[in-house]
Amino acid sequence: MSTPAGGDGQPFVVLGVSAGIAAYKAVEVCRRLVDAGVHVAPVLTERATRFVGRATFDALGSEPTQTSVFDEASPIPHTRLGQRADVVVVAPATADLLARYTAGLADDLLTTTLVATGAPVIVCPAMHTEMWEHPSVRDNLTTLRARGVIVIPPEEGRLAGSDIGTGRMAEPATIVSAVLDLLEGRKSGPRVPDLDGVRVVVSAGGTREAIDPVRFITNRSSGKQGHALAAAALRRGAEVVLVTASSWPRPAGAEIVEVETAAQMEDAVLARAADAHVVVMAAAVADFRPKVVIDTKLHKADGVPDLVLEATNDILAELGRRRRPGQVLVGFAAETHDMAGRARAKLVAKGVDLMVANDVSAPEVGFDHDTNEVTVFGADGSVTSVPLASKEAVADAVLDRVVPLVADRTA
C-alpha cells in the first residue's frame, strides 16, 4: 500500500509526462523513484495517454494519476501539487511542452503545476534531432536554464521510426539520479544561511578549443565539483551565477551562463565578476588552443596537420588584477605531482585568497569521480586538508573557508 503524501517525511515528487514516444521510459522513472522511497504524483497530459496508459502509473505511482485540473475534489489541484512538491520533473519534455512552459502558458494540469510551483524543476527533453536543433527550442532552453530550471539533455541513439541522432531522452537511471541528488541537497539544506545576500560567481567544466569543425582539445573535467559548489552556495543563501562548459545538471535557482571555449569563459566570468562578492574559478580552462582553426574537416588522406598551439589568457590572474575591494577570490589547481609546492606558487602568482588543490593522479580523486580530496591553501598561510569525500561535502568545506573572509570584508 502506498504511503500517504508527506507520510514519514517522504519527499514528494511530481512526475510530469508529456506526449512523446519516450513516455514509456517515464514508467521506469516512476518505479525507480518509488523504490527509492519517494512519493510520486504522476501528472500526464491528455495527449500523453495516447502513448502510455494512466493505469500503469496508477499501479506504480504513490497516488492516482491525474490528467486534468478537474480530476480530483480539490478545485485547485495544481496549487496542491505545486506547493507540496519538493521537485517537479518532466520526462519526457516535448518541444511543445517546453515552448508552453517558457511562455508561461497554463492550459492543462501539468503546465499549471509548473507555473504554480516554487520547487526546483527538472526537464528531460525528448524529440527528433531536427526539432532538438531548431533555434526556437534552443532559445526556450536557454531561457529556462536562466530561470534556474535544470535541463537533462537528450542522448544520441535510436529515435522514433528508424532514425538515429541526438534527441533520445536521457536514461531513467540518469534522471532518477539527478532527482535524488536534488532531493538530498534540499534535505540537507543550509546549516546556516551564512551567505545570505552574497553574490557568488562559480565557473565549472572543461573548455573545448576547436581544431576543425568536428575535433577539439579538452580535458577530463566533468564540471561536477563546480556545479556542487554552486548548489552549496545556493543552499547557504547566496545569489549564484554559474558559468559552465559542462552538461552536468544545473542547480535550481542559479543564473546559468553556458560557454564552450576559454575565450567565452573569460568574457562571461570577467563580466559577471565585476559586482560579485566571491568568485570561485573551479573550471578546468584549457591552457592552450590551436592558433588557427581549420574551416573544413581534416582527413587522414591529407596527412598529419601542422598543429600550432598558443596560450590562452589566464582568467584567474586577470581576476586578481581586476579584483574589486573586499572581493574574495578562490582558485583551483589540479596537479599530478608536487601539489603543495605548485598550489602555493599559484596562490601568490595569481593573487587569490584561497587555492584549492588536488592530486588527480590519486584513486577516486577529481576528474571522472563523484568524490574528491583537496587541500585548501590560504593567503594567510593557513592549510586545511579535506579527506576523501563526496564533491558536495568538499564544496561545503571550501565554502566554510570562504564565509569568514566574506564576513571580515563586509563587516
Most confident of 35-49, 120-134, 229-243: 35-49
What is the pLDDT at residue 189? 52
3-state secondary structure (DSSP) of residue 119: coil
- Cβ contact 377:396 at 8 Å: no
Q: 140 catalytic, yes or no?
A: no
Give the span between the Cα atoms of 273 and 280, in whole angstroms. Answer: 10
- Count of C-beta atoms within a 10 Å radius of residue 160: 13
Q: For the chain, which domains are there?
A: 7-184 (3.40.50.1950), 192-410 (3.40.50.10300)
What are the counts of helices (DSSP H) followed by strands (DSSP E) for the chain? 13, 19
Q: Which of 140, 219, 313, 358 is catalytic?
A: 219
Give the span between the Cα atoms of 27 and 201, in whole angstroms. Answer: 38
Minimum mean pLDDT among 130-139, 160-169, 199-208, 369-378: which range?
160-169
Checking if the pLDDT of 147 tops 70, the result is yes
pLDDT band at 274 (very low <50, low <70, confident <90, very high): very high
> In which residue are the cell numbers 502509473 written?
57
Please, is 4 exposed, middle or buried when counting C-beta atoms within 10 Å of its C-beta (0-12, 13-18, 19+)? exposed
The C-alpha cell that represents 90 in the structure block: 518532466
Give the span between the Cα atoms of 98 and 284, in whole angstroms. Answer: 31
pLDDT 10s digits, 16-47: 999 999 999 999 999 999 999 999 999 999 99
pLDDT band at 86 (very low <50, low <70, confident <90, very high): very high
pLDDT band at 4 (very low <50, low <70, confident <90, very high): very low
Checking if the pLDDT of 184 tops 70, the result is yes
81: left (phi > 0), else alpha (psi -120 to 50), else beta? alpha
What is the pLDDT at residue 209? 93
Mean pLDDT for the chain overall: 89
Q: What is the mean pLDDT of residues 231-248?
A: 90
Q: What is the mean pLDDT of residues 218-229?
A: 90
**160 against 22, higher pLDDT:** 22
Checking if the pLDDT of 260 tops 50, the result is yes
**172 against 186, higher pLDDT:** 172
pTM score:
0.61
Checking if the pLDDT of 71 tops 90, the result is no
Q: Is the peptide bond before 77 cis (omega within 30 degrees of 0)?
A: no
What is the pLDDT at residue 196? 87
**278 against 180, higher pLDDT:** 278
Give the span between the Cα atoms of 237 and 403, in whole angstroms. Answer: 12
Q: What is the mean pLDDT of residues 388-410?
A: 90
Give the span between the Cα atoms of 100 and 341, in whole angstroms. Answer: 54
Residues in the chain: 411
pLDDT band at 72 (very low <50, low <70, confident <90, very high): low
Q: Could you tell me which of 256, 269, 263 has the C-alpha nearest to residue 330?
A: 269
Checking 317-322 for CB contacts under 8 A at 24+ apart, the result is: 317/349, 317/350, 317/351, 318/266, 318/270, 319/269, 319/270, 319/273, 319/279, 319/281, 319/350, 319/352, 320/350, 320/351, 320/352, 321/351, 322/270, 322/273, 322/274
Q: Cα torsion at 347, 350, 355, 361 (round to 10°)?
A: -90
Q: What is the mean pLDDT of residues 113-124?
A: 92
